[in-house]
Amino acid sequence: LSSVRGEGIIPPAWNVSAIRAGRQIPGTPGIPRQSRRRKSLAIAYEAGQGEGAEPRTPWEPPGWREQLERIREMRRSRDAPVDEMGVQRCYDSNAPPQVMRYQVLLALMLSSQTKDQVTSAAMLRLRRRGLTVDSVLQMDDETLGQIIYPVGFWRNKVKYIKQTTAILKQKYGGDIPSTVEELVQLPGVGPKMAHLAMHIAWDSVAGIAVDTHVHRISNRLKWVKKETKYPEETRVALEEWLPRDLWKEINWLLVGFGQQTCLPVNPRCSQCLNQDICPAAKRL
């Protein structure tokens, strides 16, 4: 409903013609006869609504389905580092569920700015010592550092792992939180890790996990309306249009694709099935 020049509330559009004709509208006793001097009324509609308005079509990048299918074809062999040594391969699948989830979270914390091969090796060394909340709390910082070295920023990760593990023990009974909101409150845990923890540890899809590969490739393929500078911007942009049933798959697809073909520097465009339909291929 819209107010016109402060003279009251105008009823729905289907009553406007009767008002213009000066007739009383049944069921609306408080509406006066329209002045003869006023020839028209300005009716305000919400954007995209009103008589004759075309329904709005949600934005999506042109050709994205074909691009996605070609990436699936290139990833069919599942032989990228993420497939063989990614976080989903780093935990003990025979451990109790609570221990398994803790190991998933620890692997994610170690994986930040670290190659999958290095993360996998560090997790193997930790698991050989019995990787549980209690075992890590009993371990001194120097020992933990020696075990996880040479993961990226290993000194900071020692501190974050000890702090987060203490919180899990005190607040969550040794388990990990089951929501993204709680996960990102833990020291050393960012949005990408939180979404992957939900995917892998809880088998729940709360959002898209966007790392540097997903961020880079989404911008190269123009899967965002406008260029994004940070992974979190990319996540929000992707979630606006990408069908929800693809949210879990897209991280795995693009990470492996980024490791093997769409490299950060000197991407292998000549080997890419999307070369003829990739907006960035002509410029690289």
Q: What is the pLDDT of residue 58?
A: 85
Q: What is the pLDDT of residue 47?
A: 42
Cα–Cα–Cα angle for 121, 123, 126, rounded to 5 degrees: 115
Q: What is the pLDDT of residue 48?
A: 43
SS3 track for 223-275? CCCCCCCCHHHHHHHHHCCCCHHHHHHHHHHHHHHHHHCCCCCCCCHHHCCCC
Q: What is the pLDDT of residue 283?
A: 55
DSSP reduced 3-state for 67: helix
For tokens 């050989």, name the residue: 128
Residue 130 and residue 95 in contact, taking contact as beta carbons nearer than 8 Å = no
What confidence tens digit (pLDDT) does each residue in 115-135 have?
999 999 999 999 999 999 999
CA 148 to CA 150: how far, in whole Å? 6
Q: What is the pLDDT of residue 20?
A: 42
Share of the chain above pLDDT 70, in %: 79
What confidence tens digit (pLDDT) does each residue in 68-89 have?
999 999 999 999 999 999 999 9
What is the model's pTM? 0.79
| Residue 192 designated active-site | yes
Long-range contact set of residues 32-41: C-beta below 8 Å, sequence gap at least 24: 41/4, 41/10, 41/16
Q: What is the mean pLDDT of residues 161-176?
A: 98
Question: What mean pLDDT is reported for the chain?
Answer: 86
CA 121 to CA 124: how far, in whole Å? 5
Of 237, 227, 221, the C-alpha closest to 269 is 221
- Which runs of E-coded beta strand occur in the chain? 2-3, 9-10
Active-site annotation holder among 157, 162, 192, 248: 192
Of 142, 138, 110, the C-alpha closest to 124 is 110
List the domains of the chain with CATH numbers: 64-78+209-283 (1.10.1670.10), 91-202 (1.10.340.30)
What confidence tens digit (pLDDT) does each residue in 7-58 have?
344 444 444 444 344 444 444 444 444 444 444 434 333 344 445 555 667 8
Question: Which two tokens mark 212?
Answer: 């540097």
Q: What is the pLDDT of residue 57?
A: 74
What confidence tens digit (pLDDT) does each residue in 134-157 have?
999 999 999 999 999 999 999 999
Question: Which two tokens mark 22?
Answer: 């000066």
What confidence tens digit (pLDDT) does each residue in 216-229 have?
999 999 999 999 99
Q: What is the pLDDT of residue 53?
A: 53
pLDDT band of 256, cuts 50, 70, 90: very high
